[in-house]
Amino acid sequence: MTDYTVVGTDELPPGEHVVVQLEGRLIGVYNVDGEYYAYTNWCPHQGGPVCEGALDGTTEITFDRSCLERSTNWVKEDEILRCPWHAWEFDILSGEAMHDHDVRLISHETKIEDDNVVISL
């Protein structure tokens, strides 16, 4: 594995992301509440540029069998990455697809060194 310094922490405030090119691959680097995440800009659905999508929330539907009531809630605000091609949703904290937890984005280890975000490939 090789470590790459990609961006200063002061250049990537919470809620922001950048896309960088490393070893011929585009990598999206995200700051979510001070934690950093990095994913290859490739959607496991049909290879779309997932890191060009928006960070948003998603709708969660629950069903109470005892009273047969359904409720709809907006959850995970700014923690869902939505692919711009067909709107598949991914949890930015884990890279898992919201509809199938066996489907994941390609993630990369991140760490902070000297106030810089470093990615290992």
Interface with ligand FES by CB under 6 A: which residues?
43, 45-48, 50, 83, 85-86, 88
Please, what is the minimum distance in Å from the beta carbon of residue 44 to ligand FES?
Answer: 8
Nearer to ligand FES, 56 or 118 (CB): 56
Nearer to ligand FES, 6 or 90 (CB): 90
* 3-state DSSP of the chain: CCEEEEEEHHHCCCCCEEEEEECCEEEEEEEECCEEEEEECCCCCCCCCHHHCCEEEEEEEEEECCCCEEEEEEEEEEEEEECCCCCCEEECCCCEECCCCCCECCEEEEEEECCEEEEEC
Please, what is the minimum distance in Å from the beta carbon of residue 33 to ligand FES?
Answer: 25
